[in-house]
Structure 1
Amino acid sequence: MSWVFTRVCSAFFDLWLSALLGVHSTEDIHEESKLDDLKAVTKRKHPARLWTAIGLIGTLLLWLIRPKVPYSHISGAIPFTFLEALVSRTPEAHHPMNNAFPLPELISEGHWKAPDGNFKGWSPNFDMGTRSLPDWASGSLPPGFERWSEEKNVTTMKNYYNPINDPLRITNLDRKLLEPLTRALKDHDVPITHVVLVMMESTRKDVFPFKSGSHLHREILNSYKSQDPDAMHQLNANLSHLTPIAEILTGESGGLPKSTRETDSSHWKDTAEAGMGGLNINGVLTGSSLSFKSEIVNHCGVWPLPLDFMEEIKSDIYQPCIVQVLELFNKFKKNSFASSSRDLNERRWTSTFIQAVTGIYADQNILNDQIGFKKTVYREDIGQKDAKHYHADMEEINYFGYSEREVYPYIEDAIDDAIKNNERLFLSHFTSTTHHPWGLPKGFQSEQYFSDESLIGKHEDMNSYLNSVRYVDTWLGDMLGLLDKKGIANETLVVFVGDHGQAFQEDSPVTGCYENGHISNFRVPLIFRHPLLPKIQVTANTTSLSIIPTILDLLVQTKSLNEKDSGITLDLMNEYEGQSLIRPYKATDDGRQAWNFGIISAGGEMLSVGSAAFPYRLILPLTQDFEFVFSNLETDPDEENLLRGWSVDDLVSRVKSAHGDKAGQWVVEAEKVGRWWVGESKRLYNHAE
């Protein structure tokens, strides 16, 4: 287009400037045909100047009244604004070198806490000097424990996490265990020989389990023009078979009428006694809507980096991951094998990571090595013809790899090996079928939950997703059945957690996780399953950062560690940022809020900021390309009526009008704390700007 209009534009500006400046054009001035036109325009130079002045005044006025964000680029020259759009802009406040905590009155000396037992004290912004090393920090330590080693060798200057100096840290380890748990541990033994962590791809809390009356349930019902009672009853009966295993694990009823199916007899049956089964945590948000950043939170008890994609693999993870903690226990084991089952606490730990899809996407294999896994099984391993359990009809259900059932024999092998070698197993398994494009194995029957006329185009993706949820629900039952088959169910702690959710057009105008902070991408299930633990419903506005402190706390409280390992664990539990979920959760402490953060995929553009003290949520833009977004999850749990603003002041004004001054003040503090946290996170990862 520019090539076509170049001559036209050139001629126009030539005439306009000639009239404005009162001179003749130097271009084609020798042409007699144009000379007369130029003279005529020159005579009209005064109207040209008038309109030019009006244009300049109008432009200046627009420049003055136009909101700086997001329209500031309109006043720039095209080449420069185009180039700026290609470069991520980070506010100066994010820089970790100039990052004072923005609420200093909350961390002043009057709020400091003295050390007490394993609690190391809390005195932000006060240089405590070199901390004394614990007894276990001697000799060669496993990877992940560099900061204990570095305290002996200060020649390498790095930033390390220090709970004493963390302005945000709130611990609940001074509180007693939840009462039902105290009674259960007093009445009988609850051994935890093995730990299994199941990270479930794109698993939203509202489908774990699927419930009657939920936003998603209403969407399904509303897709039918006819509300024939018999048809609706049959629909609800079909929906009741969507997540039966999730209902058992959580202890939450779906509230839908049950119907009998032939396949019901093949489903896993819970062997736990009535009222037993472990903790179900409600109110959990993921630490990241990017899977592998979430994996870091779940396995290491740390926040991820607020940068796009997996920059974490270029840095040291600033806390020991659970696998590395177990490897530290191994360091103090005298023998490779325990002599009998009575020597449970003297057995060595072995760690294995297993999934049916690729392990090289986004450098996941590098991340798993960094976390500390000794053995890994990926699509690249099971898809080889010489693989132990390869068979010719293996079916790839999506562009990542196979269905979960293909790794069943590998999980069985890991269990058999641990039993044979008299070892304790830490097994991490990542499901994948609930990831786009939600493909299913050929032998698994797909159901239609939405009406015929609404399915194509509007509800097709959600319907496919729900079928994949039903498939994974069945798979979780198969895994639990394997523990029963091997006779280790009553000595195995199984943690189920969603890596993140998945937004569809039924939820928000923007679908998927990428650059989408909607709550459906963040609210996830979290269960600590053990058949000998009481079924406890816990509500806490927390994140998956609490997984590692809770596992460690359970190992100690169930006496599943020897004296040496228990001492190490009690010490390490006071190093992590998350709170233990087997104790009453602290939403506030001496005026401070328990702040929660969530990285929004891809990581460097938006941040979710929440607090256990309030039901509010702020989507904080880290560049100028996105709006500030506020929601009140108490009055709007599905975020159907969001408040937006292109500046903090704009958003605060709207929040105060809709929710009151307290909510507006919360937004002010959340924005400050969120920006501070971004810089602090980069400091802890020793990330250079």
Structure 2
Amino acid sequence: MKGARTLLFSGSQTSTGQTLDAFSNFARCYFYALAFWSVISAKLLHLYAHLYSLPASQLIVWSVTFFQDVVVLLLLRIIAQRGRTRPLAALGALVLIPFSLIVSGMAAANFSVYIFTGAEIHWKQAKSFTNDAAAIRTLLTGLTGFLVGEAIIVAAAILTGRFVHRVAGGLLHVLAWPLRWLFARVSSCLSPLRQRLHIFPIRNQYKDLPDPEVYERIALEDDYLNDSPDDESDYAYDDHHSPRPITDRPLPRALIVGAFSLFLLLRLLRPPDSVLLFLSGTLPLTTVFQGGHRDSPIDLTGVPLGYSYLDGAETLQPPPKWSWMPKDPGPGFTDWKPDNHDLHYDNAKNPIHISNLQEPLLEPVQKAVADNNLKIKHVVLLKLESARADIFPLRNDSFMRNRIARSYKDNQIPEDVLDRIGDLTPTAEYLTGFSTGFGQDNGIQRSRKAYGGLSARNAYTTSTYTLKSLEGTLCGVSPLVADLNREFEHHIYQPCSSQVFDMLTRQAEITNQTDNFTLWPWHSIWMQFVTETYDNQDKLMPKLGYFDKQTKETIEDPDAKHFPLKTEEVNYYGYADTELKEYIRDAIDDAESNHERLFLTHLTGTTHHPWGLPNNTYEQIMGSNKGHNEDLNRYLNTIGFVDGWLQTILDILEEKGVADETLLVMAGDHGLSLPNDGGITPYDNPHVGNFEVPIVFAHPKLPPIEVKAPVSSIQIVPSIIDLLIESRSLPKDSISVASDIRSLYEGQSLIWPLIQERDSKQDWQFTVMNTGGTWLSVRSAARPRFRLVIPLINDVEWRFTDLTKDPNEDKPIMRFNLADLAHTIRKEYDNELLHWLFDAVYVSNWWVKENWNRYGYSPAPKNVGR
């Protein structure tokens, strides 16, 4: 046989064919191994990411069934076998090669995202980034991780290609054995009948083979096990005295068939739970998995009967009638158009709203008003990118300080580094009145007293996604519970700050022909030195009332007033914030000369990943660059840079003579869990470090006031309006207008005593998590130690933390369903906490549906489950 084959391939044309066959054999092994390692590595990462989300009993019982990938890989192995003809082999290659390339790319991308963010890719969201140039630049930051992951998979495929291919073939050989046995017996029984009826005559194609055993093996044997780059190794052509392969031995056959039978049995017995189906997901099928159907935004399975007090409650009502409302109300007030029949949010109809307007004004604010010292001509609102509460300022007794210490031997920070840390955030210390405790001679305790104003100790953002966070801070609303920026397409249900100022400007008494600034018109301007093209921000800003803007796109224009720029781009979004210095000066000068009141809003960007600085100059703060320490060192350096930028803004206000008449509002868009879990972005990361932000209302004529009660950035807009009203910084008629508008907002004003609970009604505070449609975080101001993260889709976990026992959320309780979560909590807490848990779930479900109604948003099924 070998001689015949050698003769057959002896010609030059035959050599070419032999080369092609050899390459084909290598390609089949390589691409199959590439698919194998991609699918298996993706599954292992998937299970690792959710390892503690199932009770141990369920994990043990059903773990075997999570590897349905084996079935997919065995089917793929059938496609990857040696074709009997070249056209058949080419057809198999058309399936195998694209499949393996796709899954290897997906596995490497998932690996990269998990390393950098701590979360897996949600493939349904991924397609939203592909049409966004700014988003593509963001994704490219993970290119190194992607290339490393891809290189590992490719190397594994090259090194193990033949072995993986043969082992999978061996498994198929064993699993096909019962079918071959059955086919042989049926054929034997039917053979006399077929001969008698003269149908399907059996061709004596193996009559030259002397041994019946060899006959059977050639007639029925596939090449699963013995398919190898060397065709001569096919044992079907070997002498029948050759040793039988291991897969033909009884014990291996029994073990393999038994294991596969156990898999099938457990899979048949496994409950039809969407969570178990999610854990069994296989690339690339996970991209189309939609999860189970839900009748409500939140899965209420497990909530006891009796929760019905919000059923049927609706907050949308006809808007109130106000005599001062113009016939053409303009942006933000379209619900008041004469020919409009749309409804508007009404606090009086909100069953979970608590008002504090009936309380007396905070005594320190009341004294400043009585002394006639508090005047507000201009408002400057700074939205601080990735600003954690515990770095505004960075305090000596904080987690961040201890985290820095852990990077040094014996947790001892050198004196020079300690001085460096103490000097990192002096402006934040000055503005908040919160002492850092480091004792440097640049702090409030020695060289200068506190600037003055209200500073919140326990503040959460309304969203950990920057663009959604803007609505909470600028419009006093909860962002839309939907993935990414969709607010610009829907009805933002309250007027935003700039639109309120525009309405005040339209009142009859307003004029710039006077030196009385309270009568001047308002002018709103938006500033950021990063791009506004990311996720349709350029379409969102006009919806928020901003038409005068300075962004990366405008300042790069050669016709821009201060072109060319003095620095290069510091990250994939744009330039350092300090490039705005002259534009801020111009805005104040223009406002003063035109007798206008300035509402300047500035989104900082330097503290965004990858934390670049002009000239790439960094001080060493961390003791080691291992792990995430290098990223943390860069982040802390940008924190110090932005703190210096805030001082520059204060200097400009002083320089222009408007510091004593400017309200400076600062709020973080979200925090950053980088020092906790290494997360470089809040994307799908429920850690509390992404939620806690600074909120400060700074004014030199206010005494330092510490707000200890739990608050949210949804309370900023009503607080600004209240400060304008109470300080008499508005003319008489405008005070009445502002008071009416103030009554619209659901957030409690910070200049009145805050009420956490009244008549068994709790002040619930919601945070729409990045990117909006996956998780919802909820806490109660009455019981802020408890924090619940609720899944809005079926393939992420419930998460509960007790911040008194676990302030840094090192050991959150995570379960895939509410019943398991409640069962785990019941072991440690009393029934009172369970009541809080079920109440939080019930209220949140009502609130999400209410949120959709207010925005006029109709979620498609994909928004309920992925």
Q: What TM-score do you get using the length of structure 1 for normalisation? A: 0.86
Aligned position for 1:36 = 216
- Say which of 242, 258, 275 aligns to 1:70: 275
Equivalent pair of 1:333/1:346 in contact (CA under 8 Å): no
The separation in 2 between residues aligned to 1:275 and 1:57, in whole angstroms, is: 70
Aligned position for 1:143 = 331
1:531 aligned counterpart, secondary structure: coil
Of the structure 1 ranges 478-487 and 562-571, higher mean CA displacement relative to structure 2 is found in: 562-571
Alpha-carbon offset, residue 658 of structure 1: 2.6
What is the one-letter code of the residue matched to 1:577? E
Q: Does 1:251 align with 2:251?
A: no
What is the one-letter code of the residue matched to 1:318? Y
- Say which of 455, 478, 485 aligns to 2:648: 478
Aligned position for 2:179 = 17
Aligned position for 2:229 = none
> Deviation string for 1:443-469 (max 9, x for gaps)?
x85211111xx2143300000000000
What is the one-letter code of the residue matched to 1:331? R
Equivalent pair of 2:475/2:544 in contact (CA under 8 Å): yes
The separation in 1 between residues aligned to 2:503 and 2:453, in whole angstroms, is: 27
Alpha-carbon offset, residue 371 of structure 1: 0.6
The separation in 2 between residues aligned to 1:34 and 1:374, in whole angstroms, is: 84
Q: Does 1:357 align with 2:357?
A: no
The separation in 1 between residues aligned to 2:360 and 2:758, in whole angstroms, is: 16
Equivalent pair of 1:619/1:630 in contact (CA under 8 Å): yes
Aligned position for 1:115 = none
* 1:636-655 to 2 correspondences below 5 Å: 636-655=806-825
Equivalent pair of 2:556/2:565 in contact (CA under 8 Å): no
- Say which of 685, 692, 711 aligns to 1:523: 692
Equivalent pair of 1:605/1:621 in contact (CA under 8 Å): yes
Q: Does 1:216 align with 2:400?
A: yes
Q: CA 1:392–1:402 in 2, change beyond 3 Å: closer, same or farther?
A: closer
What is the one-letter code of the residue matched to 1:421? N
> Deviation string for 1:227-265 (max 9, x for gaps)?
66xx633322111001000001110111113268xxx9x
Aligned position for 2:24 = none
Q: Does 1:398 align with 2:567?
A: no
Aligned position for 2:633 = 463
Identity %: 34
Q: CA 1:34–1:424 in 2, change beyond 3 Å: closer, same or farther?
A: farther
What is the one-letter code of the residue matched to 1:235? V
Alpha-carbon offset, residue 436 of structure 1: 0.5
The separation in 2 between residues aligned to 1:309 and 1:464, in whole angstroms, is: 27
Aligned position for 1:561 = 730
Aligned position for 1:326 = 501
What is the one-letter code of the residue matched to 1:492? T
Alpha-carbon offset, residue 13 of structure 1: 5.6
Equivalent pair of 1:351/1:426 in contact (CA under 8 Å): yes
The separation in 2 between residues aligned to 1:435 and 1:75, in whole angstroms, is: 35
Q: CA 1:103–1:613 in 2, change beyond 3 Å: closer, same or farther?
A: farther
The separation in 2 between residues aligned to 1:161 and 1:540, in whole angstroms, is: 26
> Deviation string for 1:176-215 (max 9, x for gaps)?
1111211221122311111110000000001100011211
Aligned position for 1:4 = 80
- Say which of 315, 335, 340 aligns to 1:153: 340
- Say which of 433, 449, 465 aligns to 2:621: 449
The separation in 2 between residues aligned to 1:548 and 1:90, in whole angstroms, is: 38
The separation in 2 between residues aligned to 1:450 and 1:132, in whole angstroms, is: 57
> Deviation string for 1:519-575 (max 9, x for gaps)?
111100000011111210011212100000100111111111112211122112221
What is the one-letter code of the residue matched to 2:179? L
1:396 aligned counterpart, secondary structure: coil
Alpha-carbon offset, residue 289 of structure 1: 0.9
Q: What TM-score do you get using the length of structure 2 for normalisation? A: 0.69
Q: Does 1:532 align with 2:698?
A: no
Higher strand fraction (1 or 2): 1
The separation in 2 between residues aligned to 1:429 and 1:625, in whole angstroms, is: 37
Larger C-alpha radius of gyration, 1 or 2? 2
- Say which of 557, 573, 576 aligns to 1:384: 557
Q: CA 1:16–1:481 in 2, change beyond 3 Å: closer, same or farther?
A: same
1:636 aligned counterpart, secondary structure: coil
Alpha-carbon offset, residue 67 of structure 1: 8.7
Alpha-carbon offset, residue 490 of structure 1: 0.8
Q: Does 1:659 align with 2:829?
A: yes
What is the one-letter code of the residue matched to 1:316? H
Alpha-carbon offset, residue 220 of structure 1: 1.2
Aligned position for 1:282 = 457
Aligned position for 1:113 = none
> Deviation string for 1:348-395 (max 9, x for gaps)?
001000111112222222111111113100111112222111136432
What is the one-letter code of the residue matched to 2:364? P
Equivalent pair of 1:354/1:377 in contact (CA under 8 Å): yes
* 1:51-130 to 2 correspondences below 5 Å: 59-61=264-266, 63-64=268-269, 68=273, 70-73=275-278, 82=286, 84-85=288-289, 87=290, 91-94=294-297, 106=309, 125=313, 130=318
The separation in 2 between residues aligned to 1:81 and 1:525, in whole angstroms, is: 42
Equivalent pair of 2:529/2:551 in contact (CA under 8 Å): yes
Q: CA 1:309–1:80 in 2, change beyond 3 Å: closer, same or farther?
A: closer
Equivalent pair of 2:274/2:291 in contact (CA under 8 Å): no
Equivalent pair of 1:159/1:683 in contact (CA under 8 Å): no
1:367 aligned counterpart, secondary structure: helix
Aligned position for 2:95 = none
* 1:310-349 to 2 correspondences below 5 Å: 310-334=485-509, 336-341=511-516, 344-349=517-522
Alpha-carbon offset, residue 226 of structure 1: 4.8
What is the one-letter code of the residue matched to 2:462? G
Q: CA 1:57–1:461 in 2, change beyond 3 Å: closer, same or farther?
A: closer
Q: CA 1:540–1:53 in 2, change beyond 3 Å: closer, same or farther?
A: same
Equivalent pair of 2:316/2:854 in contact (CA under 8 Å): no
Aligned position for 1:684 = 854
2:601 aligned counterpart, secondary structure: strand
Aligned position for 1:589 = 758
* 1:665-680 to 2 correspondences below 5 Å: 665-680=835-850
Equivalent pair of 1:556/1:566 in contact (CA under 8 Å): yes
Equivalent pair of 1:305/1:603 in contact (CA under 8 Å): yes
* 1:147-186 to 2 correspondences below 5 Å: 147-149=335-337, 153-154=340-341, 158=342, 160-186=344-370
> Deviation string for 1:50-94 (max 9, x for gaps)?
998997676445554669353225779x79954543x47673202
Aligned position for 2:416 = 234
Equivalent pair of 1:236/1:257 in contact (CA under 8 Å): no
Equivalent pair of 2:431/2:452 in contact (CA under 8 Å): yes
Equivalent pair of 2:425/2:640 in contact (CA under 8 Å): yes
Alpha-carbon offset, residue 620 of structure 1: 0.9
Unaligned runs of 5+ in 2: 1-31, 33-76, 84-168, 191-199, 207-212, 222-252, 300-304, 860-866
2:631 aligned counterpart, secondary structure: helix
Alpha-carbon offset, residue 312 of structure 1: 0.8
Equivalent pair of 1:503/1:511 in contact (CA under 8 Å): yes
Equivalent pair of 2:319/2:335 in contact (CA under 8 Å): no
1:658 aligned counterpart, secondary structure: coil
Alpha-carbon offset, residue 106 of structure 1: 4.7
> Deviation string for 1:139-180 (max 9, x for gaps)?
110211122226x533xxx45322232222221111111112
Alpha-carbon offset, residue 325 of structure 1: 0.7
1:570 aligned counterpart, secondary structure: helix
What is the one-letter code of the residue matched to 2:440? K
Aligned position for 1:303 = 478
Q: CA 1:165–1:63 in 2, change beyond 3 Å: closer, same or farther?
A: farther
What is the one-letter code of the residue matched to 1:515? D
Q: CA 1:54–1:489 in 2, change beyond 3 Å: closer, same or farther?
A: closer
Equivalent pair of 2:319/2:344 in contact (CA under 8 Å): no
Q: CA 1:458–1:67 in 2, change beyond 3 Å: closer, same or farther?
A: farther
* 1:422-437 to 2 correspondences below 5 Å: 422-437=595-610
> Deviation string for 1:310-330 (max 9, x for gaps)?
011111211100111111111
Aligned position for 1:99 = none
1:480 aligned counterpart, secondary structure: helix
